[in-house]
Structure 1
Amino acid sequence: MASLKELRGRITGVKSTRKITNAMKMVAASKLRRAQSQAEAARPYAEAMRRMMAELAAATRGADAASLPTLLAGTGKDNVHLVVVLTSDRGLAGGFNANVVRSARQLIDSLLAEGKTVRILPVGRKGGDILVRHYPSMIVEQLSGTEGKDVGFDKASAVGAKIITMLEAGGIDRCTLVYNRFVNAMTQIAVQAPLVPLPVAENDNAEASDAAQYEFEPDEATLLAQLLPRNLQVQLFSALLESAAGEQGARMTAMDNASRNASKAIDRLSQKYNRTRQANITNELIEIISGAEAV
């Protein structure tokens, strides 16, 4: 049985931990409000940009694939795939990083099973450390994430420039982004979003059919060459904002659960402490009474 001193030490330690988790929950909650508003504000712009690219892409149907930008049509091959994985730089966020890494590994393993060559570009230390252990020879470069700070467009520009450089050099044929899409503080959904070649859904084709009747100035190919790199940066920036909001939401939820568990542990230890203390007092009284009777 633990002594009263040991129990007091445990209670003190758990209370200190609860103070830390409560403080981290409050910090995450304050950051979440800002990150959530930024992510929600970026969604309409990213969606509008995607639809505009779909309209321009529809207007180029029938054109020679070799004359189209590689960001639109790819390299014409399907051999080398780049998987960009967005995670956080810090932990204590529940299953936030594990979920997106699990989704990335499923994609990577399926591509390898099809005989494809896979390159991995981790953005974020936590996910990068895991992927380096499982796929050390496939890592192109390990980039830092947002480091818990506000997401800047320069981060998306740097990642986009890396992708474009590899694409133009013929190092990759396709690119897919894996990240956590923010739903609410308790829910983040791992998403696999194709970036290269430009995805055009069936409903986008129908919507873009009328848009293709318009005349573009300058021509569609010139517009695509100018706008496609910007679209790539916008989609990456939106994903980074979604990931940042999801990270803060996951951390707030994880720290709230940790604080609740700490409170339960304190109650159990306090109950055990009181019972042990009462048992010690009872034993001392029995010893005193026994001694008095012996006299």
Structure 2
Amino acid sequence: MATLRDIRQRIKGVKNTQQITKAMKMVAASKLRKAQESMMAARPYSLNVHHLLGKLVLDERVSENPLINDRESINRVALVVISADRGLCGSFNSNLIKNAQRMIQTDLKSWATTGNLDIIPLGRVGYDFFRRRAFKIPFYRSGIFGHLTLSDIRSVRDFLVQNYQNGTYDRIIVISNEFKNVVTPKVTTHQFLPIRTEALEGIDASGSFQADYIFEPDPNAVLEGVVPLYLSQLLMQIFLESIASEHGARMAAMDTATENAKALLKSLTLTYNQLRQAAITKEILEIVSGAEALSKG
């Protein structure tokens, strides 16, 4: 049975843990606010790039682009898994990895069983998980989400585009967390390459854009510049959504940990008081019994 000293030490430890989780919650809340601002500020630009690319794809004067057209046979597939670099963020990483595993065992099973599936983890948690499995990891990045820069985005984009163009991969899929609310991020998948024309936004029911564009010098020249821009913006939006989801999940997890520590402190304090009262009662009984024995003697 635990002694009063043991319970006092445990209460002290729980109080210290509560202070840490409370501080981590405040830090995550501050980072979440900044991440949300960046994410929301990037959405209008991303939407306009979608609209522009969709208009170019539908233009009859535009010739075929190798990054847009589907290939006849899909021989090799790459799955990009965007996780966090750290834990302590609830089910953020575990749900992502579970969905990635489920996707590998179902939609990508034919390529996974034949060794034609590569995993490209972006984030240390995903890398640590998949490197222990029998998957080939040709590319890996970590530490880019703390200070996301255009050079980081372009390095990932250039690797994916280059390996798609040279035939290493016939399809590239990205799985990540999309920010819906602070409590529960949503795991989503995007086909990065080839670009799916039906996924482009801004097309009305008749299949044409309401806005009318004039392209100079010609649509093909504009398309050559818009496609890399679109892919960079798509990656940036996915990264920003994942970063905001991570901070939201960490804030919620630290809030839950703080509340659990509070409940545990209440229980430990009650137990400590009960043991202390029992010890005092025992001492009083011993004193009274000794006094009675002396008076009778």
Relative to the length of structure 1, the TM-score reads 0.90
Amino acid at match of 1:270: T
Matched residues in 2 for 1:50 and 1:207: separation? 17
Can you list the C-alpha shifts for 1:28-71, whole angstroms capped at 9, x where unaligned? 011111001111111121122122212211225895xxxx3322
Structure 1 segment 115-194 matched on structure 2, within 5 A: 115=111, 117-134=116-133, 136-147=134-145, 149-194=146-191
**SS of the residue 2:216 aligns to:** coil
Spell out, residue by residue over 1:106-145, the C-alpha distance to the aligned partner (whole angstroms, 9 max, x if none): 22222442346211111000111112223x3322222114
Task: Give the match for residue 93 of structure 1.
Answer: 89
CA distance in 2, matches of 1:267, 1:106: 41
1:273 positional shift: 0.3
Distance of aligned partners of 1:191 and 1:207 in 2 relative to their CA distance in 1, 3 Å threshold: farther
Q: 2:73 aligns with which of 73, 77, 83?
A: 77
Q: Work out which of the residue numbers 105, 108, 115 in structure 1 matches 2:104.
A: 108
Query: Equivalents in 2 of 1:99, 1:256: separation in Å?
Result: 19
Indicate conservation of the 8 Å contact 2:68/2:197, yes or no. no
Judge conservation of contact 2:62–2:219 (CA < 8 Å) in 1. Answer: no
Match of 1:264 in 2: 263
CA–CA separation in structure 2 for the residues paired with 1:286 and 1:110: 71
1:71 partner amino acid: L
Please name the residue that 1:24 is paired with.
24
The percentage of counterpart residues that share the same residue type is: 38
Q: 1:93 to 1:145 in 2, by over 3 A?
A: same
Give SS of 2:237's match.
Answer: helix
CA displacement 1:80-100 (0-9 Å, x = unmatched)? 111111111111000011122
Report if the CA contact (8 A) 1:55-1:211 is conserved: no
2:44 counterpart of 1:44: yes
33-42 or 217-226, larger mean C-alpha shift = 217-226
Q: Give the AA of the match of 1:119.
A: D
Gaps (5+ residues) in structure 1? none
Alpha-carbon contact 1:83-1:178 (below 8 Å) kept: yes
Are residues 77 and 168 of structure 1, via their aligned partners in 2, closer, same or farther at CA, if it must alter by over 3 Å?
same
Match for 1:42: what amino acid? Answer: A
CA 1:92–1:58 in structure 2 vs 1: closer, same or farther (change >3 Å)? same
State how far apart, in whole Å, the 2-side matches of 1:275 and 1:207 are.
Answer: 75
In structure 2, which of residues 193, 197, 200 is the aligned counterpart of residue 200 of structure 1? 197
Q: Give the distance between the partners of 1:96 and 1:42, measured in 2 at CA.
A: 22
Q: CA deviation at 1:12?
A: 0.1
Shift of 1:153: 2.1
SS in 1 for 2:90: coil
Identify if the C-alpha distance between structure 1 residues 162 and 62 changes in structure 2 by more than 3 Å, giving closer, same or farther. Answer: closer
Residue pairs, 1:236-251, within 5 angstroms? 236-251=235-250
Name the CA distance, whole Å, in 1 between partners of 2:217 and 2:40.
32
Q: Report the RMSD for the aligned CA atoms in angstroms.
A: 2.2
Give CA deviations for 1:191-219 in whole Å, capped at 9, x if unaligned: 10111111122773756535798663333
Distance 2:30 2:217 in 1: 46
Residues 216-242 of structure 1, C-alpha deviations (whole Å, 9 max, x = no match): 333333322221111111100011111
Change in Cα spacing, 1:77 to 1:60, as seen in structure 2 (3 Å) is farther
What is the letter of the counterpart of residue 137 of structure 1?
F
Residues 86 and 124, structure 1, Cα contact 8 Å, conserved in 2: yes
Query: How many Å separate the matches in 1 of 2:118 and 2:192?
Result: 14
Q: Residues 47 and 257 (structure 1 numbering): CA distance in 2 closer, same or farther, change over 3 Å?
A: same
Answer with 10-19 or 193-202: which moved more. Answer: 193-202
Are the counterparts in 1 of residues 111 and 117 from structure 2 also a CA contact under 8 Å? Answer: no
- DSSP 3-state at the match of 2:68: helix
